Amino acid sequence: MNLENVVCGVCSGGKYETVYESAPGWLDADFTPSTDRYGQFGSVVRCRGCGHYYTNPRPAAEFLNSGYQSARDDAYIAESESRSINAYMSLSAIRRFAPPSGRLLEAGCFAGFFLNAARTQYEVEGLELCSWAADFAEKNLRLPVRRASMESAGLEAGRYDVIAMIDVLEHLQNPAAAIAECSRALKPGGILYLVTPDIKGFSARLLGKYWWGLRPSHIHYFHRASLSRLLAAHGFEVRLAKSFGKIFTCGYWLSRIKNYPPLIHRAAEKFIDAAGIHNKFLYIDTRDSLEVIAVKRN
């Protein structure tokens, strides 16, 4: 496989120090959102210029693109109810800052659960590289989805009132280009909604190189300061930046820690089985995901 050295995705600086290192696991990497395979992320470095964290070196663009295009994730669909609740929580946060109607775009909409919630308020459009997920959104949820990335979509300038990228930025080869494109495609005063792992969040600091956020498909690791810097550079003003919790069934939460020490996993499994709550919803804020709302300056 071809690996390439890259510069910082926020400030384009080339000086860095290595923070975490693990065996690279890209050849059999799992590019699905609900992967439970953490670790094997290669080298994560910190930019000496701006403090942003990113994977360096990383696989070439063709390898990453084909990984996303050919992904399939049945476990994602199996959690459709909890993912829909998470979508409504995001929509409710957006509604506090955005106009009550208008055009909304989601880049990286995957199976379409957020767009399905958002269309109760907005005229929605989606972009998605994964064919399987885009097919699901079109056929099962009747959503308009184009097979394109934010950077390649050729969007009309000033078209949207809201753009959302939920758990997407950390996967992009050029997050700065995507944010620049968001700025171009939004109306002045338009709202950008982002959710991305926070490498300086509590759980990330606690778990260090064992943090579940470190995985082969993540090639950028933001924190409040690096994300704010990127947004400011493209004409955005941050209005909200907070920790983002999620709802899943207890069984799904349990599957997230399958590869952690057996003692922890077994204890949690015993408790969930004894309580009979495998299918019950549970909200947890693991304090390592960042929810950001930014407005495009006029």
Minimum Å distance from CB 8 to Zn ion? 3
Note whether 230 binds Zn ion by CB under 5 A.
no
Among 10, 29, 111, 247, binds Zn ion (CB under 5 A): 10
The interface region with Zn ion, picked from 3-11, 113-121, 151-159, 184-192 by CB under 5 A, is 3-11
List 47, 107, 168, 191, residue binding Zn ion (CB under 5 A)? 47
Regarding 50 and contact with Zn ion (CB under 5 A), the answer is yes
Task: Show Cβ contacts of residue 62 under 8 Å, excluding neighbours closer than 6 positions.
Answer: none
Decide: 168 and 197 in contact? Cβ < 8 Å. Answer: no
Q: Cα separations (Å) of 23 from 29, 38, 170, 195, 256?
A: 12, 11, 20, 27, 21
Nearest approach in angstroms of CB 270 to Zn ion is 45
- Interior CA angle at 231 toward 51 and 245, to 5°? 80
Query: Between residues 52 and 58, which has the closer beta carbon with respect to Zn ion?
Result: 52
Binding segment toward Zn ion, per CB under 5 A, in 43-51, 112-120, 195-203, 211-219: 43-51
SS3 269: helix
Question: Does residue 11 interact with Zn ion by CB under 5 A?
Answer: yes
- With tokens 């106009």, the residue in question is 99
Exactly one of 26, 42, 52, 155 binds Zn ion (CB under 5 A); that residue is 52
Query: How would you write 57-115 as a 3-class SS string?
Result: CEECHHHHHHHHHCCCCHHHHHCHHHHHHHHHHHHHHHHCCCCCCCEEEEECCCCCHHH
* Residue span binding Zn ion (CB under 5 A) among the ranges 12-20, 67-75, 145-153, 285-293: 12-20
Report the DSSP pairing between strands 16-24 and 41-47: antiparallel
Q: Which position among 49, 99, 144, 245 is part of the footprint of Zn ion (CB under 5 A)?
A: 49
46 counts as binding Zn ion under rule CB under 5 A: no
Q: List residues near Zn ion by CB under 5 A.
A: 8, 10-11, 13, 47, 49-50, 52
